[in-house]
């Protein structure tokens, strides 16, 4: 099921980021990103209408509230602040 357009843009921007940083991913039903290879391997992002469930190595990490103004950069910085992704990844 295709989510709202702003969330869809967020997902596409995240996929673009993963491509630039050589992290292989799989996009399922336009709402779940599974990072399969690279330095971020093991992270799963499940998007719902107003939230993003973050899983690390098949365990639930935490849930983030997102809205139409949430950007890929903002989401990545939150993941960095929670030590989910290394800060060096954002510098690439």
DSSP 2-40: ---HHHHHHHHHHHHHHHHTT--EEEETTTEEEE-SSTT
Q: pLDDT-based confidence at 13, cuts 50/70/90?
A: very high
Q: Give the largest CA-CA distance in the chain.
A: 34
Residue 34 β-bridge partners = 26, 44
Rg (CA), the chain: 12
User: For the residues 55-80, what does the mean pLDDT come to?
Assistant: 89
Give the pLDDT band (50/70/90) at residue 33. very high
Instruction: Please tell me the distance from the alpha carbon of residue 46 to that of residue 66, in angstroms, as a whole number.
Output: 12
Per residue in 46-61, pLDDT tens?
998 889 999 998 887 8
């Amino acid at each position: 099921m295709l989510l709202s357009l702003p969330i869809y843009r967020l997902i596409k921007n995240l996929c673009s980021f993963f491509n630039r940083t050589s992290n292989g991913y799989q996009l399922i039903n336009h709402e779940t990103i599974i990072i399969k290879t690279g330095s971020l391997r093991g992270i799963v992002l499940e998007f719902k209408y107003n939230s993003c469930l973050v899983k690390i190595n098949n365990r639930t990490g935490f849930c983030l509230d997102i809205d139409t103004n949430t950007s890929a950069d903002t989401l990545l910085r939150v993941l960095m602040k929670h030590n989910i992704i290394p800060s060096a990844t954002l510098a690439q």
